Amino acid sequence: MACVVQKFGGTSVGNADRIKHVAERVVRTADEGRSVCVVVSAMGNATDELIELAARVSTRPHPRELDMLLTAGERIAMALLSMAIAELGREAISFTGSQAGILTDTAHGRARITEVRAHRVEEALQQGKIAIVAGFQGVSPEAHVTTLGRGGSDTTAVALAATLVAEACEIYTDVEGVYTADPRIVPLARKLNVLSHVEMLELSAAGARVLMVRAVEYARNYGIPIHVRSSFTDAPGTWVKKETETMEKAIISGIAHDSSEAKVTITGVPDRPGIAAQLFRTLATEGINVDMIVQNVASEGNTDISFTVPRGDLDSAEPVIDAVAKQIGARKVATDPDVAKISLVGAGMRTHPGVAAQMFETLAEAGINIEIISTSSIRISCVVRGDKIERAVRAVHDAFRLSEEFILEEVPSTSARDTG
Amino acid sequence: MACVVQKFGGTSVGNADRIKHVAERVVRTADEGRSVCVVVSAMGNATDELIELAARVSTRPHPRELDMLLTAGERIAMALLSMAIAELGREAISFTGSQAGILTDTAHGRARITEVRAHRVEEALQQGKIAIVAGFQGVSPEAHVTTLGRGGSDTTAVALAATLVAEACEIYTDVEGVYTADPRIVPLARKLNVLSHVEMLELSAAGARVLMVRAVEYARNYGIPIHVRSSFTDAPGTWVKKETETMEKAIISGIAHDSSEAKVTITGVPDRPGIAAQLFRTLATEGINVDMIVQNVASEGNTDISFTVPRGDLDSAEPVIDAVAKQIGARKVATDPDVAKISLVGAGMRTHPGVAAQMFETLAEAGINIEIISTSSIRISCVVRGDKIERAVRAVHDAFRLSEEFILEEVPSTSARDTG
């Protein structure tokens, strides 16, 4: 029987009525003759409330105990959903991450799935039951309960879809799919019908919050089609799947932006082999998550290195950066929390020169200064002043006419070569 | 190293401040050089709130899923307590019922502990850690999560005390110990310093809510001393332990009352062997919990049978009782929800005639009619009108001078023989 994994986020199961609504949708899918494995997050703000409770008894909660605490959230949601489904006359059975065989490493709070042994889930599905699995959680080799970090439920869903050889992994959320830009900033943003795993990966990495990077990565590795859709309507959402020859060839898929990072610039760095390695190894060891890294060609034996870090980590990162800068003999460290990043993503840009130039021109015409540029074969990212980010997103969205359906084989007027 | 099990109920861990308070007490005990295993209930009304949530998505929640839901409660409490202890500089580690090796049968919602395999708890204690265990929960042979029913955390604590060969099981609660009667009804009720397992068993079975019957039963079977005490003071509470020769020989330990039951009377029951068996087997099969059973000698080939059931079960019990009454050829079934039971308990009454007579006289003098009488060797119970129960408790407490210390080897004035 065809199998589908359906994942519902915290908003979708935010209260008893919404849980009943989700139950109806799940049962409808099962009634269509498919076997259904459901993955749920904790109800509404449950996770945040538990974190707040922890903060009231402990200044620095032990990661193992914090995971023990937080996993209560999905447990409640999954049991309630299971009951609500049974109420509709369908057999359902709920499983914790551990019971569902979600094996992880030992990194509490940000564990990675190492293996999925979903025997109990498979058995339940074979018996015609609907299986409900707690997202976000797993179990370490020492039998400690672990969590996968924010957005981990998406990864649970994709991992189960891979193990169960599901025909799709449906991610139900409070938006209708993946958009060409954040609709709160660009009212004319268009819902995408389909995009490739790689494009979604770049969008997620660049700040699109609809899907977490790790879930998309997992889906790409196992070739799992993801269907991002609204839990409040029946309209089809956005398919994220393997790139194929027949896939619509939009040059640009969409724009992502990220206002959560801060910029660090180290100037006067001696241009010697191994210097960058020393810097970023130290930051990695200290657990500081570095995103964009840009280094220019050296002049007069010195170079400048810029990178971005999550703004919340800046305070703890600064002393580490200062120390390592001193060690490598750099001249100066400057930090800047008031920045934001705009990224243009599209598999089509690989074969279309001029996209980067068009983006830079558009920003210049809007009076927005570009502080850092970084590109991949299907993405161009620019760091700009934080208070300019919304204007930047709107200007670039307009320039590439992303509100219109299918921009195929055509680049907006520009004669410049792509500088990316 | 001497080991102690400390159990804290829902009120004791009702909010973050109380959890910190409990953490201090636990650490104090550990600092005295004892290894400490802590058992916790869910915070405050958490269990009731989860039950309410379940009722909002399901008219009759599946017992397995209800257990999955409810066990989130202790999970939250234990993780928070573990963090609060770590905050005080002591290593702590929390375990679910399953992780602590609390193996049970498959009766969801009222599972019985079949075995305790507390290897992980023992290992933690040996490493000098404080072990925090979720009360009320276990795991069935099919690896489903189970709960032990109301008050189940007491049983968890006693079972762990037996397995860990603890010197005592301390039950921390919101009262200061076991009293000669409910202090809300009898302001002069006296806190007992010590009583035997058997006496406590009778008091619990007769409605004293401070300790659950199954926990006391378990403690008696394994000879575990229980210390019932307040989590808000350091005053010693009540010790419940093996009856010994040197134990103070009070005739009466105390009075328990129970206003939660309803009375059922079946009249004109044919006096044939096997009739009672047929009746109560049917009720047992239907899951109706029968408490007191009284049958009088037959006259003219017929007899009357009375018994009590939890008032909440009366509606579902009535059709069953009616059917079986018809089957066995009884004349009539009468039910009465407005009753209550007063019980006088004391190991000393075994050797002191006249206790029952005194109790009946006292109730008569207070103008309270006795509807059913039932006795054991150390207990006398009377069913009276529900609205008379408080007056009955006060009158009997006065008559036996239970506010005074040590009523030894002396019976209040009466010449009648014990009719029990």
**pLDDT digits over A348-397, tens only?**
887 777 888 889 999 999 999 998 888 888 899 999 999 999 999 999 99
What residues in A contact B58, CB-CB < 8 Å?
A: 83-84, 86-87
- What's the pLDDT score for residue A414? 41
**Any idea which residue has 């076997």 for tokens?**
A35
> Does B75 contact chain A (CB < 8 Å)?
yes
> Does B16 contact chain A (CB < 8 Å)?
yes
- Is A76's CB within 8 Å of B69's CB? yes
Integer Cα distance of B230 and B177 in angstroms: 7
ipTM, two decimals: 0.80
Tell me the torsion sign for CA atoms A228, A234, A236, A241.
positive
B416 has a pLDDT exceeding 50: no
**SS3 at position A216:** helix
Give the E-state strand segments of B102-143 in sequence order: 102-104, 113-116, 130-134, 137-139
- Is B92's CB within 8 Å of A64's CB? no
Of B54, B72, B76, the CB nearest to A83: B54
> Does A51 contact chain B (CB < 8 Å)?
no
The distance of B51 to chain A (nearest Cα, Å) reads 10
Q: For residues B368 and B343, is the Cβ–Cβ distance under 8 A?
A: no
- Is B75's CB within 8 Å of A72's CB? yes
B419 has a pLDDT exceeding 70: no
What share of chain A has pLDDT > 70, as a percent?
95
The lowest-confidence range among A54-58, A129-133, B47-51, B321-325 is B321-325
> Does B147 contact chain A (CB < 8 Å)?
no
Integer Cα distance of B227 and B176 in angstroms: 10
Higher pLDDT, B247 or B369: B369
Of A65, A82, A99, the CB nearest to B82: A65
> Does A21 contact chain B (CB < 8 Å)?
no
Integer Cα distance of A200 and A196 in angstroms: 6
Token output for A155: 């990864």
Task: List pLDDT tens digits, range A26-52.
Answer: 999 999 999 999 999 999 999 999 999
Smallest CA-to-CA distance from B19 within B77, B91, B88 is with: B77
Which phi and psi angles does A157 have, rounded to 5°? -65, -45
Of B54, B83, B96, the CB nearest to A58: B83
- Is A83's CB within 8 Å of B56's CB? no
DSSP state of A174: S
- Is B16's CB within 8 Å of A69's CB? no
Q: Choosing among B69, B90, B120, B142, which should be mutated to test the A contact, i.e. which has the most A CBs within 10 A?
A: B69
- Is B71's CB within 8 Å of A76's CB? no
Residue of chain A nearest B73, judged by CA positions: A72
Of A16, A54, A75, the CB nearest to B80: A54
Q: What residues form DSSP beta bridges with A270?
A: A302
**Any idea which residue has 């209550």 for tokens?**
B340
Token output for B98: 């399953």
Residue-averaged pLDDT of chain B? 90
pTM of this structure: 0.84
Give the E-state strand segments of B184-301 in sequence order: 194-196, 226-230, 238-241, 254-258, 261-270, 293-295
B249 has a pLDDT exceeding 70: no
Higher pLDDT, A74 or A151: A74
Report the Cα A347 to chain-centroid distance in Å: 18
Confidence of residue A300 (pLDDT cuts 50, 70, 90): confident
- What's the pLDDT score for residue B375? 85
Rounded mean pLDDT, B376-396? 93
Residue of chain B nearest A91, judged by CA positions: B62
- Is A69's CB within 8 Å of B80's CB? yes
Of B58, B59, B80, the CB nearest to A53: B80
Token output for B184: 């809300």
Give the E-state strand segments of B221-330 in sequence order: 226-230, 238-241, 254-258, 261-270, 293-295, 302-310
Task: List pLDDT tens digits, range A199-217.
Answer: 999 999 898 888 988 999 9
- Is A84's CB within 8 Å of B57's CB? yes
> Does B92 contact chain A (CB < 8 Å)?
yes
- What's the pLDDT score for residue B163? 97
Integer Cα distance of A152 and A150 in angstroms: 5
Residue of chain B nearest A50, judged by CA positions: B76
Cα-Cα end-to-end distance for chain A: 47
Residue of chain B nearest A64, judged by CA positions: B93
Integer Cα distance of A297 and B133 in angstroms: 59
Report the Cα A348 to chain-centroid distance in Å: 21
- Is A99's CB within 8 Å of B66's CB? no
What share of chain B has pLDDT > 70, as a percent?
95
Cα-Cα end-to-end distance for chain B: 48
Residues B213, B219, B224: CA angle, nearest 5 degrees: 150
Q: Choosing among B68, B108, B123, which should be mutated to test the A contact, i.e. which has the most A CBs within 10 A?
A: B68
- What's the pLDDT score for residue B281? 85
Q: For residues A108 and A141, is the Cβ–Cβ distance under 8 A?
A: no
> Does B57 contact chain A (CB < 8 Å)?
yes
Token output for A301: 């034996």
Token output for B209: 């809510």
Q: For residues B250 and B400, is the Cβ–Cβ distance under 8 A?
A: no
Of B57, B62, B66, the CB nearest to A20: B57
> Does B69 contact chain A (CB < 8 Å)?
yes
Identify the H or E element spanning B364.
helix B355-365
Rounded mean pLDDT, B200-205? 92
Integer Cα distance of B27 and B86 in angstroms: 10
Integer Cα distance of B228 and B239 in angstroms: 6
Integer Cα distance of A323 and B301 in angstroms: 100
Q: For residues B103 and B141, is the Cβ–Cβ distance under 8 A?
A: yes
Rounded mean pLDDT, B151-165? 96
Of B65, B80, B120, the CB nearest to A79: B65
Of B54, B76, B84, the CB nearest to A72: B76
Residue-averaged pLDDT of chain A? 90
What residues in B contact A62, CB-CB < 8 Å?
A: 82-83, 86, 92
Rounded mean pLDDT, B76-90? 97
Of A65, A82, A94, the CB nearest to B94: A65
Q: What residues form DSSP beta bridges with A230?
A: A173
